[in-house]
Structure 1
């Protein structure tokens, strides 16, 4: 027994030390700090209040979660698309990344680059979302992202300019043409577009197409079934606006942020863009605060049919890289960021809430509330560049750009759009 005792003691001590080492390892795991890399498109802090909101929400997360820190990289929208596409192709996506839904994100989802979130999301999270917010990011019953906001194409009108000129606010296309002529006669540029950012002009074409044919006819045309000549009719309507001088030479040659200053300074009466502009319009230092209203884009016919149809929908999402080492942590951060950014965007005026808003409505931007009431029973068609996906979407934007520049006829435009669908 004497010979066995030392061995027995050695085993006891060894086991004790091994146990201590395991506890230390577990303690280290519990306190291990990780960094999640996140990419988004809001890069201009001095010009884009959305970036400030996102920064605030991320800073709050980092403060409350010292062991899971988020590190941000931001790139302007059009450059970001190239960066994201390249990173997906080379399997170099960050842990969390912004992406558009619909046809844009489809190739990344199909390639397996995006994490399916189903097993990470409980019913409590799903119940916090407004209805249909996941439609544009669901494939084969799997959810691949969470929404940041709800985007709506918005028609802004400077009531002060209309009243001063004694011009009727248009409710249909013919009245829109009359308003364009009336403002032109007074030496005022009627409509704004920063067409060097080609998506800005695309919005005008797409809303005119929606007014011309409605959601279902637009979808048929975009699926190679343009039997009603929707492309041609819409191109002719846009050409008429351009020919009447609805847009000035500067805004046709300027970037969106450059030309947008004209509307913000109260020099242009009408502007069709996204609801993300409402916050800047109603900012305390805005020259046009409380002078602007939002309404449905003018109808083609004088009746009310189609007034509840809008461009937009849940288009802005955050997604998780399927190859991240920290899936649970990334999804938890995703939930926090998307819900809080949705609330803050709604309050400021950068978008309608994708998540059920439980805050104080007195904190909400006046134009956001107007738009929420206007779209209460709304039906939505995604912006065409997102609906079509990047390659076809870019071609569509380029063709609309040529219409604005008068480098292509409506007939040529329609044929190119039909060829675009037939080739893919």
Structure 2
């Protein structure tokens, strides 16, 4: 009689009955074999070539709230997730970086990944053939993640040479508390802007801020005035909407008018950008025009001051060809890859990882608008960043003049604008010199 409750330990293998005493060694051998395969795979991973990529950028400050810290954290995230592809970073301050990267190109000692401004600054590098063409490394899915027009400043003959990190926007900041206390209207157009300057001056309050010791800060005012006078081509190609020299001359006179009316802080030639901004952060100056990177720094201000700061479009000149949908800026900041790197695919993968995450984190912190599509909940995004994003819907962008012109010509523009601030050149002579360099 068969016991139906007792397990049957007989197995058939190739027609032969295998007893349980024989089966155990077979299973053991099988498991050992599987374990050996697993160890082989693990060893393959451990024995895979470990490489180190070098990367240069301009954000040298790494305090908890600085852009450099965000870069540092992002690189650390990559390094942790990619033990066989490590990134070693070197950060150098803005102006020193320009000299460093130019020298590296000249002597063929580029890092694997490097920061560069788009437009005229990077164009000579690209033309030298030393920047990697990214077309074969960027698929359509990656392109779809990048916002419209964000590749324009690094694309030549349909070839892409850089990955955008953030969208930079010239932004007009107003301290509404100072306006309210002085019973002055926050300006909506250029005439009201001039009225506000005069009214603040009459009350002994310095209306506008600039740190012209860093002479790139002054050209922001000239560039936006040229944009308001000449339209979207007012900076990069003033033939659009107005005669080129006419646009330059009008913008120069506008800036001279501000300087002569003592609209700017008196110490503007002696103070750097960082030093001058202290005055705004202390709530002493009502208006300031600079990039949207300043939004992140506002977060560190005293709540009684920062809660009264708003972002606006720079006032439109009624007689000009510009409009309030036109902004200075665009996709300026990029990561590029050296054409001489031994690890092209790995370098591009790392650059994509960093650029996309920086776009997201700078937006959240307040250092820039996203160059890549932002898909997260915006509850974590800086309030002023969200407001600026709304202001710039359907916007057109004109590159900052010195970036568009490139290093040599851009330096000439900065020198000429600095002379305007010092009263060392007339608007007419300024125009003659600007026409030569453009």
Normalising by the residue count of structure 1, what TM-score does the alignment of the two structures yield?
A: 0.90
Equivalent-residue separation in structure 2 for 1:147 and 1:98 (angstroms): 10
Alignment of 1:120 onto 2:137: yes
Partner SS state of residue 329, structure 1: helix
1:410 aligned partner: 427
Equivalent-residue separation in structure 2 for 1:175 and 1:383 (angstroms): 25
Partner SS state of residue 250, structure 1: coil
Picking from 51, 65, 86, the partner of 1:34 is 51
Picking from 40, 48, 51, the partner of 2:68 is 51
Gaps of 5+ in 1: 1-22
Contact kept, 8 Å, 2:236 with 2:404, in 1: the verdict is: no
Aligned pairs for 1:182-331 within 5 A = 182-221=199-238, 226-227=243-244, 229-283=246-300, 288-301=305-318, 306-331=323-348
1:78 aligned partner: 95
Equivalent-residue separation in structure 1 for 2:301 and 2:204 (angstroms): 29
Per-residue CA distance 1:107-139 (angstroms, 9 max, x = gap)? 000001100011011111111111111010001
Larger Rg: 2
Partner SS state of residue 231, structure 1: helix
Picking from 351, 357, 379, the partner of 2:368 is 351
Please report how far the alpha carbon of residue 252 of structure 1 lies from its aligned counterpart in structure 2 after TM superposition. Answer: 2.8
Per-residue CA distance 1:264-293 (angstroms, 9 max, x = gap)? 111111000000111121347555222111
Change (3 A) 1:267 1:217: closer
Picking from 187, 190, 193, the partner of 1:176 is 193
Per-residue CA distance 1:163-202 (angstroms, 9 max, x = gap)? 1111011122221111111111122111100101111000
2:5 aligned partner: none
Per-residue CA distance 1:21-55 (angstroms, 9 max, x = gap)? xx99x948952211111000011224971101111
Alignment of 1:375 onto 2:382: no
Aligned-pair Cα RMSD in Å: 2.1
Gaps of 5+ in 2: 1-39
Number of aligned positions between the proteins: 397
Partner SS state of residue 225, structure 2: helix
Alignment of 1:93 onto 2:110: yes
Partner SS state of residue 221, structure 1: coil
Per-residue CA distance 1:330-363 (angstroms, 9 max, x = gap)? 0000110000010000001000000000112000
2:125 aligned partner: 108
Partner SS state of residue 252, structure 1: coil
Equivalent-residue separation in structure 1 for 2:401 and 2:322 (angstroms): 22
Partner SS state of residue 116, structure 1: coil
Normalising by the residue count of structure 2, what TM-score does the alignment of the two structures yield?
A: 0.87
